[in-house]
Amino acid sequence: MSVLPASALSLARGAEILRGGGLVAFPTETVYGLGGDATQGQAVARIFEAKGRPSFNPLIVHVAEVSWVAGLAETDARFAKLAEKFWPGPLTCVLKRRADCPASELVSAGLDSIAIRMPDHPVAHELLRASGRPLAAPSANASGTVSPTRAEHVAQSLGDKVDLIIDGGACRVGLESTVIDLTQDQAVILRPGVITAEEIAAVIGPLGSAEANPTTFKSPGQLASHYAPGLPLRLNAAIAKAGEAYLGFGPTADASLNLSAKADLREAAANLFAMMRALDDATRYQGIAVAPIPATGIGTAINDRLERAAAPRS
Ligand code: TXA
Ligand code: MG
Protein backbone atom coordinates (compact mmCIF):
# COMPACT_ATOMS: atom_id res chain seq x y z
CA MET A 1 0.00 0.00 0.00
CA SER A 2 1.23 3.49 -0.69
CA VAL A 3 -0.21 6.88 0.15
CA LEU A 4 0.55 9.59 -2.38
CA PRO A 5 -0.52 13.22 -2.41
CA ALA A 6 -2.89 14.09 -5.25
CA SER A 7 -0.82 15.07 -8.29
CA ALA A 8 -0.73 14.44 -12.03
CA LEU A 9 1.64 11.56 -11.34
CA SER A 10 -0.40 9.85 -8.57
CA LEU A 11 -3.61 10.24 -10.60
CA ALA A 12 -2.00 8.63 -13.65
CA ARG A 13 -0.71 5.81 -11.45
CA GLY A 14 -4.17 5.41 -9.87
CA ALA A 15 -5.87 5.25 -13.27
CA GLU A 16 -3.42 2.55 -14.38
CA ILE A 17 -4.07 0.49 -11.23
CA LEU A 18 -7.84 0.79 -11.74
CA ARG A 19 -7.68 -0.30 -15.38
CA GLY A 20 -5.61 -3.28 -14.24
CA GLY A 21 -8.36 -4.34 -11.83
CA GLY A 22 -6.72 -2.96 -8.66
CA LEU A 23 -8.19 -0.80 -5.89
CA VAL A 24 -7.52 2.90 -5.31
CA ALA A 25 -8.89 4.92 -2.39
CA PHE A 26 -9.70 8.50 -3.36
CA PRO A 27 -11.30 11.56 -1.80
CA THR A 28 -14.79 12.75 -2.68
CA GLU A 29 -16.66 15.69 -1.14
CA THR A 30 -18.52 13.26 1.18
CA VAL A 31 -16.07 10.57 2.36
CA TYR A 32 -13.10 8.68 0.92
CA GLY A 33 -14.18 5.99 -1.52
CA LEU A 34 -12.62 2.57 -2.07
CA GLY A 35 -12.65 2.53 -5.86
CA GLY A 36 -12.54 -0.29 -8.36
CA ASP A 37 -13.51 -0.56 -12.03
CA ALA A 38 -17.27 -1.25 -11.98
CA THR A 39 -17.04 -3.12 -15.28
CA GLN A 40 -14.59 -5.72 -13.90
CA GLY A 41 -16.38 -8.21 -11.69
CA GLN A 42 -13.17 -9.28 -9.99
CA ALA A 43 -12.29 -5.69 -9.10
CA VAL A 44 -15.75 -5.30 -7.51
CA ALA A 45 -15.27 -8.60 -5.67
CA ARG A 46 -11.96 -7.26 -4.32
CA ILE A 47 -13.82 -4.26 -2.87
CA PHE A 48 -16.11 -6.51 -0.82
CA GLU A 49 -13.13 -8.63 0.18
CA ALA A 50 -11.09 -5.59 1.28
CA LYS A 51 -13.98 -4.21 3.35
CA GLY A 52 -14.57 -7.60 4.94
CA ARG A 53 -18.32 -7.25 4.33
CA PRO A 54 -20.15 -10.38 5.45
CA SER A 55 -22.74 -9.89 2.70
CA PHE A 56 -23.03 -8.17 -0.68
CA ASN A 57 -24.74 -4.78 -0.55
CA PRO A 58 -25.13 -2.96 -3.83
CA LEU A 59 -22.49 -0.28 -4.40
CA ILE A 60 -22.60 3.23 -5.80
CA VAL A 61 -21.05 3.69 -9.24
CA HIS A 62 -19.27 7.01 -9.76
CA VAL A 63 -19.10 8.83 -13.09
CA ALA A 64 -17.05 11.77 -14.40
CA GLU A 65 -19.77 13.19 -16.64
CA VAL A 66 -23.57 13.05 -16.78
CA SER A 67 -23.21 11.61 -20.29
CA TRP A 68 -21.69 8.40 -18.85
CA VAL A 69 -25.01 7.54 -17.22
CA ALA A 70 -26.77 6.83 -20.51
CA GLY A 71 -24.46 3.87 -21.16
CA LEU A 72 -25.27 2.31 -17.78
CA ALA A 73 -28.90 3.01 -16.97
CA GLU A 74 -32.30 4.05 -18.27
CA THR A 75 -32.77 7.72 -17.55
CA ASP A 76 -35.89 9.87 -17.39
CA ALA A 77 -36.92 13.51 -16.97
CA ARG A 78 -36.68 13.32 -13.17
CA PHE A 79 -33.10 12.11 -13.39
CA ALA A 80 -32.20 14.85 -15.89
CA LYS A 81 -33.62 17.54 -13.59
CA LEU A 82 -31.86 16.20 -10.50
CA ALA A 83 -28.52 15.84 -12.27
CA GLU A 84 -28.85 19.36 -13.66
CA LYS A 85 -29.56 20.76 -10.21
CA PHE A 86 -27.37 18.70 -7.87
CA TRP A 87 -24.49 17.19 -9.87
CA PRO A 88 -21.67 17.14 -9.31
CA GLY A 89 -22.63 16.66 -5.67
CA PRO A 90 -23.75 14.38 -2.84
CA LEU A 91 -26.84 12.89 -4.50
CA THR A 92 -26.99 9.27 -5.68
CA CYS A 93 -29.72 8.22 -8.12
CA VAL A 94 -30.91 4.62 -8.27
CA LEU A 95 -31.99 3.87 -11.85
CA LYS A 96 -32.96 0.80 -13.86
CA ARG A 97 -29.92 -0.93 -15.37
CA ARG A 98 -29.80 -0.94 -19.14
CA ALA A 99 -30.12 -4.43 -20.58
CA ASP A 100 -26.58 -4.07 -21.94
CA CYS A 101 -25.20 -2.31 -18.84
CA PRO A 102 -21.44 -2.96 -18.84
CA ALA A 103 -21.18 -2.77 -15.03
CA SER A 104 -20.74 -6.08 -13.20
CA GLU A 105 -23.92 -7.52 -11.69
CA LEU A 106 -22.03 -7.62 -8.41
CA VAL A 107 -22.23 -3.80 -8.09
CA SER A 108 -26.03 -4.18 -8.16
CA ALA A 109 -25.93 -7.25 -5.86
CA GLY A 110 -28.12 -8.97 -8.43
CA LEU A 111 -30.79 -6.22 -8.54
CA ASP A 112 -32.09 -4.79 -11.81
CA SER A 113 -31.07 -1.31 -10.69
CA ILE A 114 -27.84 0.62 -10.37
CA ALA A 115 -26.93 3.53 -8.06
CA ILE A 116 -24.95 6.32 -9.71
CA ARG A 117 -23.44 9.60 -8.63
CA MET A 118 -21.06 12.24 -9.90
CA PRO A 119 -18.82 13.36 -7.05
CA ASP A 120 -17.93 17.02 -6.57
CA HIS A 121 -14.21 16.75 -5.97
CA PRO A 122 -11.42 17.59 -8.43
CA VAL A 123 -9.35 14.53 -7.47
CA ALA A 124 -12.29 12.12 -7.88
CA HIS A 125 -13.23 13.78 -11.15
CA GLU A 126 -9.71 13.58 -12.55
CA LEU A 127 -9.28 9.94 -11.48
CA LEU A 128 -12.56 8.99 -13.18
CA ARG A 129 -11.63 10.87 -16.31
CA ALA A 130 -8.11 9.42 -16.44
CA SER A 131 -9.25 5.84 -15.86
CA GLY A 132 -12.13 6.26 -18.31
CA ARG A 133 -14.14 3.74 -16.27
CA PRO A 134 -17.18 4.04 -14.03
CA LEU A 135 -15.86 3.37 -10.53
CA ALA A 136 -17.68 1.40 -7.86
CA ALA A 137 -16.77 2.97 -4.53
CA PRO A 138 -18.20 2.40 -1.08
CA SER A 139 -16.70 4.27 1.84
CA ALA A 140 -13.04 3.26 2.22
CA ASN A 141 -13.23 1.64 5.64
CA ALA A 142 -13.51 -1.86 7.02
CA SER A 143 -17.13 -3.02 7.38
CA GLY A 144 -18.75 -1.83 10.59
CA THR A 145 -16.25 0.96 11.30
CA VAL A 146 -16.75 4.71 10.84
CA SER A 147 -16.48 6.29 7.42
CA PRO A 148 -13.11 7.85 6.57
CA THR A 149 -12.84 11.57 5.89
CA ARG A 150 -9.03 11.71 5.74
CA ALA A 151 -6.42 9.62 3.93
CA GLU A 152 -4.89 8.44 7.22
CA HIS A 153 -8.26 6.97 8.28
CA VAL A 154 -8.20 4.85 5.13
CA ALA A 155 -4.64 3.71 5.78
CA GLN A 156 -5.52 2.74 9.38
CA SER A 157 -8.65 0.88 8.36
CA LEU A 158 -7.63 -0.87 5.15
CA GLY A 159 -3.82 -0.87 5.12
CA ASP A 160 -2.45 -3.27 2.54
CA LYS A 161 -5.87 -4.22 1.19
CA VAL A 162 -5.81 -1.19 -1.10
CA ASP A 163 -3.15 -0.72 -3.78
CA LEU A 164 -2.96 3.07 -3.57
CA ILE A 165 -4.45 5.82 -1.41
CA ILE A 166 -4.59 9.24 -3.03
CA ASP A 167 -4.44 11.93 -0.33
CA GLY A 168 -6.60 14.92 -1.16
CA GLY A 169 -6.96 16.26 2.38
CA ALA A 170 -10.10 16.29 4.51
CA CYS A 171 -13.54 15.72 2.96
CA ARG A 172 -15.79 18.77 2.95
CA VAL A 173 -19.19 17.13 3.62
CA GLY A 174 -18.10 14.21 5.80
CA LEU A 175 -21.39 12.33 5.43
CA GLU A 176 -22.36 9.88 2.69
CA SER A 177 -24.56 11.05 -0.18
CA THR A 178 -28.35 11.13 -0.18
CA VAL A 179 -29.67 8.09 -2.08
CA ILE A 180 -32.91 8.44 -4.05
CA ASP A 181 -34.68 5.58 -5.80
CA LEU A 182 -36.03 6.63 -9.20
CA THR A 183 -36.98 3.14 -10.40
CA GLN A 184 -40.65 3.56 -9.43
CA ASP A 185 -43.26 6.18 -10.31
CA GLN A 186 -42.92 7.54 -6.79
CA ALA A 187 -39.36 8.58 -6.03
CA VAL A 188 -38.28 7.49 -2.54
CA ILE A 189 -35.30 8.46 -0.42
CA LEU A 190 -33.39 5.34 0.60
CA ARG A 191 -30.65 7.08 2.58
CA PRO A 192 -30.85 10.62 3.94
CA GLY A 193 -27.91 12.95 3.40
CA VAL A 194 -27.10 16.63 3.17
CA ILE A 195 -29.35 17.09 0.13
CA THR A 196 -32.77 16.95 1.79
CA ALA A 197 -36.12 15.53 0.73
CA GLU A 198 -37.51 19.09 0.56
CA GLU A 199 -34.77 20.21 -1.83
CA ILE A 200 -35.38 17.18 -4.04
CA ALA A 201 -39.17 17.58 -3.98
CA ALA A 202 -38.72 21.19 -5.07
CA VAL A 203 -37.16 19.87 -8.29
CA ILE A 204 -39.21 16.75 -9.13
CA GLY A 205 -42.39 17.13 -7.09
CA PRO A 206 -43.69 15.17 -4.11
CA LEU A 207 -41.78 12.08 -3.05
CA GLY A 208 -43.26 8.76 -2.02
CA SER A 209 -42.89 7.85 1.60
CA ALA A 210 -40.91 4.85 2.65
CA GLU A 211 -43.80 3.55 4.78
CA ALA A 212 -46.27 3.80 1.89
CA ASN A 213 -43.88 1.90 -0.37
CA PRO A 214 -42.72 -1.09 1.62
CA THR A 215 -41.62 -2.90 -1.51
CA THR A 216 -39.61 0.07 -2.75
CA PHE A 217 -37.99 0.95 0.52
CA LYS A 218 -35.34 -1.50 1.54
CA SER A 219 -32.57 -0.91 4.03
CA PRO A 220 -29.14 -1.85 2.69
CA GLY A 221 -29.15 -5.15 4.56
CA GLN A 222 -32.51 -6.19 3.15
CA LEU A 223 -31.64 -5.13 -0.35
CA ALA A 224 -29.43 -8.10 -0.97
CA SER A 225 -32.43 -10.40 -0.56
CA HIS A 226 -34.46 -8.52 -3.17
CA TYR A 227 -33.46 -10.75 -6.05
CA ALA A 228 -33.96 -14.44 -5.55
CA PRO A 229 -34.06 -16.82 -8.49
CA GLY A 230 -37.44 -18.20 -9.54
CA LEU A 231 -36.18 -21.78 -9.36
CA PRO A 232 -35.54 -23.45 -6.00
CA LEU A 233 -31.92 -23.44 -4.92
CA ARG A 234 -30.25 -26.42 -3.19
CA LEU A 235 -26.99 -25.57 -1.43
CA ASN A 236 -23.89 -27.61 -0.58
CA ALA A 237 -24.74 -30.08 -3.32
CA ALA A 238 -21.98 -32.47 -4.36
CA ILE A 239 -23.82 -33.34 -7.57
CA ALA A 240 -27.01 -32.37 -9.38
CA LYS A 241 -30.16 -34.48 -9.26
CA ALA A 242 -32.16 -35.18 -12.41
CA GLY A 243 -33.64 -31.94 -13.78
CA GLU A 244 -31.35 -29.66 -11.77
CA ALA A 245 -28.79 -27.26 -13.15
CA TYR A 246 -25.43 -27.53 -11.37
CA LEU A 247 -23.55 -24.41 -10.38
CA GLY A 248 -20.05 -25.69 -9.70
CA PHE A 249 -17.06 -24.44 -7.74
CA GLY A 250 -13.60 -25.89 -8.26
CA PRO A 251 -12.59 -28.62 -10.69
CA THR A 252 -15.64 -30.63 -11.77
CA ALA A 253 -16.67 -32.09 -15.09
CA ASP A 254 -20.42 -31.88 -14.52
CA ALA A 255 -21.16 -28.22 -13.89
CA SER A 256 -23.75 -26.43 -16.05
CA LEU A 257 -21.74 -23.33 -15.15
CA ASN A 258 -18.74 -23.01 -12.85
CA LEU A 259 -18.30 -20.09 -10.44
CA SER A 260 -14.57 -20.72 -10.53
CA ALA A 261 -12.96 -23.84 -11.96
CA LYS A 262 -9.74 -22.92 -10.16
CA ALA A 263 -11.63 -22.49 -6.84
CA ASP A 264 -10.83 -18.77 -6.60
CA LEU A 265 -13.39 -17.08 -4.29
CA ARG A 266 -12.88 -13.67 -5.86
CA GLU A 267 -13.66 -15.03 -9.30
CA ALA A 268 -16.67 -16.88 -7.85
CA ALA A 269 -18.02 -13.67 -6.29
CA ALA A 270 -17.65 -11.86 -9.59
CA ASN A 271 -19.62 -14.59 -11.39
CA LEU A 272 -22.28 -15.30 -8.75
CA PHE A 273 -25.23 -13.11 -9.78
CA ALA A 274 -24.78 -13.42 -13.52
CA MET A 275 -24.55 -17.22 -13.30
CA MET A 276 -27.55 -17.56 -10.97
CA ARG A 277 -29.52 -15.53 -13.48
CA ALA A 278 -28.31 -17.58 -16.43
CA LEU A 279 -29.33 -20.85 -14.76
CA ASP A 280 -32.68 -19.50 -13.55
CA ASP A 281 -34.47 -20.91 -16.60
CA ALA A 282 -37.65 -22.89 -15.92
CA THR A 283 -37.80 -24.03 -19.54
CA ARG A 284 -34.61 -26.05 -18.99
CA TYR A 285 -34.37 -26.87 -15.27
CA GLN A 286 -36.54 -27.59 -12.23
CA GLY A 287 -33.99 -26.31 -9.73
CA ILE A 288 -30.43 -25.15 -9.23
CA ALA A 289 -27.96 -27.19 -7.17
CA VAL A 290 -24.96 -25.23 -5.91
CA ALA A 291 -21.59 -26.71 -4.96
CA PRO A 292 -20.25 -26.11 -1.43
CA ILE A 293 -18.40 -22.79 -1.14
CA PRO A 294 -15.70 -22.47 1.56
CA ALA A 295 -16.86 -20.08 4.31
CA THR A 296 -13.57 -18.21 4.48
CA GLY A 297 -12.77 -14.65 3.38
CA ILE A 298 -15.17 -13.43 0.71
CA GLY A 299 -16.72 -16.92 0.79
CA THR A 300 -18.70 -15.72 3.83
CA ALA A 301 -20.47 -13.11 1.69
CA ILE A 302 -21.05 -15.62 -1.11
CA ASN A 303 -22.65 -18.07 1.33
CA ASP A 304 -24.73 -15.32 2.92
CA ARG A 305 -26.15 -14.41 -0.47
CA LEU A 306 -26.77 -18.04 -1.43
CA GLU A 307 -28.57 -18.71 1.87
CA ARG A 308 -30.85 -15.70 1.32
CA ALA A 309 -31.56 -16.82 -2.24
CA ALA A 310 -32.36 -20.34 -1.02
CA ALA A 311 -34.51 -19.24 1.94
CA PRO A 312 -38.27 -19.99 1.78
CA ARG A 313 -40.06 -17.33 -0.25
CA SER A 314 -42.53 -15.15 1.62
O1 TXA B 1 -21.07 9.54 -0.37
C2 TXA B 1 -21.15 8.40 -0.83
O3 TXA B 1 -22.18 8.01 -1.39
C4 TXA B 1 -19.92 7.50 -0.70
C5 TXA B 1 -18.80 8.13 -1.50
C6 TXA B 1 -17.56 7.27 -1.53
O7 TXA B 1 -19.24 8.41 -2.82
N8 TXA B 1 -20.22 6.19 -1.18
C9 TXA B 1 -21.00 5.33 -0.51
O10 TXA B 1 -21.18 4.15 -1.17
O11 TXA B 1 -21.52 5.57 0.57
P12 TXA B 1 -21.79 2.83 -0.55
O13 TXA B 1 -21.58 1.83 -1.63
O14 TXA B 1 -21.23 2.54 0.79
O15 TXA B 1 -23.31 3.18 -0.36
C16 TXA B 1 -24.24 2.46 -1.05
C17 TXA B 1 -25.63 2.88 -0.63
C18 TXA B 1 -26.22 1.84 0.30
O19 TXA B 1 -27.11 2.46 1.20
C20 TXA B 1 -26.95 0.95 -0.69
O21 TXA B 1 -27.98 0.24 -0.09
C22 TXA B 1 -27.45 1.95 -1.70
O23 TXA B 1 -26.45 2.93 -1.78
N24 TXA B 1 -27.57 1.35 -3.03
C25 TXA B 1 -26.59 1.05 -3.91
N26 TXA B 1 -27.07 0.47 -5.01
C27 TXA B 1 -28.40 0.40 -4.85
C28 TXA B 1 -29.45 -0.11 -5.64
N29 TXA B 1 -29.24 -0.67 -6.83
N30 TXA B 1 -30.71 -0.01 -5.15
C31 TXA B 1 -30.94 0.57 -3.95
N32 TXA B 1 -29.98 1.05 -3.15
C33 TXA B 1 -28.72 0.96 -3.59
MG1 MG C 1 -20.24 2.89 4.17
Same domain (yes/no): 106, 200: yes
Which pLDDT score, from 0 to 100, does residue 211 have? 62
Q: What's residue 209's pLDDT?
A: 81
Q: How far is the CA of 83 from the centre of ligand 2 (A)?
A: 23
Distance of CA 282 from the midpoint of ligand 2 (Å): 37
My answer on whether 84 and 175 are in the same domain is: yes
pLDDT at 213: 52
Q: How far is CA 96 from CA 262, 269, 311, in A?
A: 33, 22, 26
Residue 301 belongs to a domain: yes
Q: Which residues of the chain have pLDDT under 50?
A: 215-217, 219-226
Are 276 and 229 spatial neighbours (Cβ–Cβ below 8 Å)?
yes
- On whether the CB atoms of residues 261 and 251 are closer than 8 A, the answer is yes
**240 and 156 in a common domain:** no
Question: Is pTM beyond 0.85 here?
Answer: yes
User: Closest-lying ligand to the alpha carbon of 28?
Assistant: 1
How many domains is the chain partitioned into structurally?
A: 2
Residues 166 and 20 in one domain: yes
Q: Assess whether 198 and 246 both reside in one domain.
A: no
What is the predicted pLDDT for the residue at 226?
A: 47
Domain that holds residue 302: 233-310
Measured in Å, residue 11 CA sits from the centre of ligand 1 at 24
For a ligand 1 pocket test, name from 56, 60, 111, 183 the mutation site with the most ligand atoms within 8 angstroms of its C-beta: 60
The vertex-9 CA angle with 8 and 12, nearest 5°, equals: 85
Which atom of ligand 1 is least distant from the CA of 191?
19
| Shared-domain flag, residues 198 and 240 | no
Whether residue 6 contacts residue 168, with contact meaning beta carbons closer than 8 Å, is answered with yes
Identify whether 212 is part of a domain.
no
Looking at residue 221, what is its pLDDT? 45
Residue 297 lies in a domain: yes
